[in-house]
């Protein structure tokens, strides 16, 4: 009986350790060289624009004096922003969604990237600067003043970014943000603290393929049923 208990304890510890290893294992998406047919296809279609939301899509943050239950106390932020809003200095503790750096490295090769956030510019610009890391891939940016306040939420009109709606789409965790352009949106589950999250990695195969279509709406309009899941 004692041996059974010891064996059970050993297996329990092994399973816990294995789970930790799996959760923190670095996952990569292999960027393979394009075939001659794929290269020719890309020449026939326009290079497209991918619009990226920030909060709860690429990052999660909290500021001084606010304790978010979604972030375990003591979890170190990836970076800290010090901004002044209405003459008050505020520190924002920013946590990056798992694999966001690799995600941006990949999609910046396929698309022109644009940041479109409902946050204030002084905060959103600082977050974008930290994600960009001087690579120059997040140069175009839109903030709260570029949104439309509609039904109590900030809505992002993609025609402001690109008047050719066949060549622009948005990745955002809030369906209300793209209510004007639901056929041009990819929904993503809101992220707050889960270190095992792989949502950005999971999107890479589709994003790799979407650049070859002539009209993104021909594909994304088929996913409208997903927009209410989050």
Which residue among the candidates 55, 112, 172, 183 is catalytic per the annotation? 55
Look at residue 18 in the predicted model and tell me its pLDDT.
41
Indicate if 55 belongs to the active site. yes
How far is the CA of 43 from the CAs of 130, 205, 215, in angstroms? 33, 20, 14
Residue 60 confidence (pLDDT): 96
- Residue 133 DSSP symbol: T
Nearest CA to 96 out of 48, 131, 134, 137 is that of 131
Q: Which residue stretches of the chain have pLDDT < 70?
A: 1-27, 66-69, 225-230
Tokens found for residue 103: 């995600």
Rounded to 5 degrees, φ, ψ at 214 are -80, -25
Is the pTM for the entire model greater than 0.75? yes
**Could you say which of 53, 112, 172, 183 is catalytic?**
53
The pLDDT mean for the chain works out to: 87
Decide if 172 is catalytic: no
pLDDT digits (tens, 9 = 90+) for 132-187: 999 999 999 999 999 999 888 899 999 999 999 999 999 999 999 999 999 999 99
Give me the pLDDT at residue 225, please: 66
pLDDT in the model for residue 73:
73
Cα–Cα distance, 137 to 108 (Å, whole number): 6
Q: What is the pLDDT of residue 223?
A: 73
pLDDT in the model for residue 74: 76
What angle (nearest 5°) sits at the alpha carbon of residue 101, between those of residues 189 and 93?
70
């Amino acid at each position: 009986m004692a041996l059974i208990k010891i064996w059970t304890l050993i297996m329990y510890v092994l399973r816990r350790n294995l789970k930790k290893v799996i959760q923190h294992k670095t996952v990569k998406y292999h960027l393979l060289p394009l075939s001659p047919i794929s290269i020719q296809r890309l020449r026939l279609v326009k290079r497209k624009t991918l619009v990226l939301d920030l909060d709860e899509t690429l990052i999660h943050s909290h500021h001084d004096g606010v304790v978010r239950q979604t972030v375990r106390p003591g979890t170190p932020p990836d970076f800290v922003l010090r901004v002044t809003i209405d003459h008050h200095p505020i520190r924002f503790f920013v946590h990056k969604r798992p694999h966001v750096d690799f995600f941006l490295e990949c999609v910046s090769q396929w698309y022109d990237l644009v940041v479109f956030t409902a946050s204030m510019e002084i905060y959103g610009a600082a977050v974008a600067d930290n994600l960009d890391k001087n690579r120059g891939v997040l140069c175009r940016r839109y903030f709260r003043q570029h949104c439309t306040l509609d039904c109590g939420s900030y809505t992002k009109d993609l025609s402001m970014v690109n008047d050719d709606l066949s060549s622009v789409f948005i990745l955002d965790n809030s369906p209300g943000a793209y209510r004007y352009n639901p056929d041009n949106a990819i929904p993503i589950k809101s992220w707050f603290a889960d270190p095992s999250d792989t949502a950005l990695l999971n999107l890479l195969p589709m994003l790799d393929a979407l650049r070859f279509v002539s009209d993104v709406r021909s594909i994304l309009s088929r996913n409208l049923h997903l927009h209410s899941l989050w």
